[in-house]
Amino acid sequence: MGILEVTNVNKRFGGLRALHDLNLSVDEGTVHAIIGPNGAGKSTMLNCFVGRLIPDSGSVMFNGASLLGLKPHEINQTGVARVFQTPEIFGDLSLLDNVVIPALAKHDGAFKLNAWQRVTSRLEIREEAEHILEVVGLIEQKATICSSLSRGDKRRLELAMCLIQHPKLLLLDEPTAGMSRADTNNTIDLLKKIGERGITKIIIEHDMHVVFSLATKISVLAQGTIIAQGPPEEIKGDPRVIEAYLGGELG
């Protein structure tokens, strides 16, 4: 059984069937890419995983426990973190503050005990935040206000904000959207580096260079259901995928 098991998930919006008997199994420690055309249901699928949407039927199991009915912050507490297509950061704050904030939210209960523990915990979190900024290559900019960052550095910062939450599963929605090729390649390298921590990753991505650089398994979503899945080389040679969903050529 995978770390994430999705069984017969359905979701409608009025007369629109966004997900239809969706089945997905994600193995622990892997990079599982979800690809498919616009409107295939990819974002709806992720929203069902993180509690922003509730499926009409089916089950979503993470580490053997159901995520259905949990609020987004409760799902985050189980070990699921999400990186959005547009980086969600606090633009008026420093890089260091941006990384500290999600850690404070994650450990909120620890700050209700006494003043000394609050101070100690904040110092420990600050030290960890600095370490993670060093991991993602942003430690030299820790005091910089985030609004001045490039898109590539904003993505690095958002990844740092996820890492300090110690996720078991990281959901990445178009992590290289709008990036230059140089920033894209830097992001690929960073995600590979993060992979050394053993974090399971689900990546939704249109850039096949990114997909084939990172994925250990690929699922192809179309009209709300999985039409093909397997290792990258198998998907690359699937005529249905090439002709119907990737413009006739993969590379």
DSSP 145: B
In the structure, what pLDDT confidence band is assigned to residue 247 with cuts at 50, 70 and 90? low
For the record, the structure tokens of 63 come out as: 């580490």
Q: Is residue 140 part of a domain?
A: no
Distance CA 78, CA 62 (A): 8
Q: Is residue 11 part of a domain?
A: yes
pTM of the complete model: 0.86
pLDDT, residue 113, reads 43
pLDDT, residue 60, reads 98
- Res 110 pLDDT > 50: no
| 5-63 residue pLDDT tens | 999 999 999 999 999 999 999 999 999 999 988 888 999 999 999 999 999 999 999 99
In the structure, what pLDDT confidence band is assigned to residue 166 with cuts at 50, 70 and 90? very high
Q: Is residue 31 part of a domain?
A: yes
In the structure, what pLDDT confidence band is assigned to residue 158 with cuts at 50, 70 and 90? very high
The alpha carbon of 135 is separated from its chain's Cα centroid by a whole number of angstroms, namely 18
Q: Is residue 29 part of a domain?
A: yes
- Percent of the chain topping pLDDT 90: 65
In the structure, what pLDDT confidence band is assigned to residue 121 with cuts at 50, 70 and 90? low
Helix, strand counts (H, E) of the chain: 9, 10
pLDDT, residue 119, reads 44
Task: Give the C-alpha distances (Å, rounded to integers) separating 188 from 19, 38, 182, 219.
Answer: 29, 23, 10, 19
Q: Is residue 95 part of a domain?
A: no
The CB density around residue 174, as the number of other CB atoms within 10 Å, is 19
Q: Is residue 96 part of a domain?
A: no
DSSP string, 82-115: EE-SS----TTSBHHHHHHHHHHHHTGGGGGS-H
Extract the runs of DSSP E, i.e. beta strands, from the chain: 4-13, 16-26, 31-35, 57-62, 65-66, 80-83, 169-173, 200-204, 217-222, 225-230
Residue 230: give the domain boundaries. Answer: 4-79+167-245
pLDDT, residue 249, reads 46
- For the purposes of burial, counting CB atoms within 10 Å of the CB of 66, is it exposed (0-12), middle (13-18) or buried (19 or more)? exposed
Segment 171-196 shows an average pLDDT of 90
Q: Is residue 157 part of a domain?
A: no
- Res 111 pLDDT > 60: no
- Res 194 pLDDT > 80: yes
- Res 154 pLDDT > 80: yes
How many structural domains are present in the chain? 1
The CB density around residue 212, as the number of other CB atoms within 10 Å, is 17
**Stronger pLDDT, 199 or 38, i.e. the higher one:** 199
Q: What is the CATH number of the domain that holds 22?
A: 3.40.50.300
Q: Is residue 84 part of a domain?
A: no
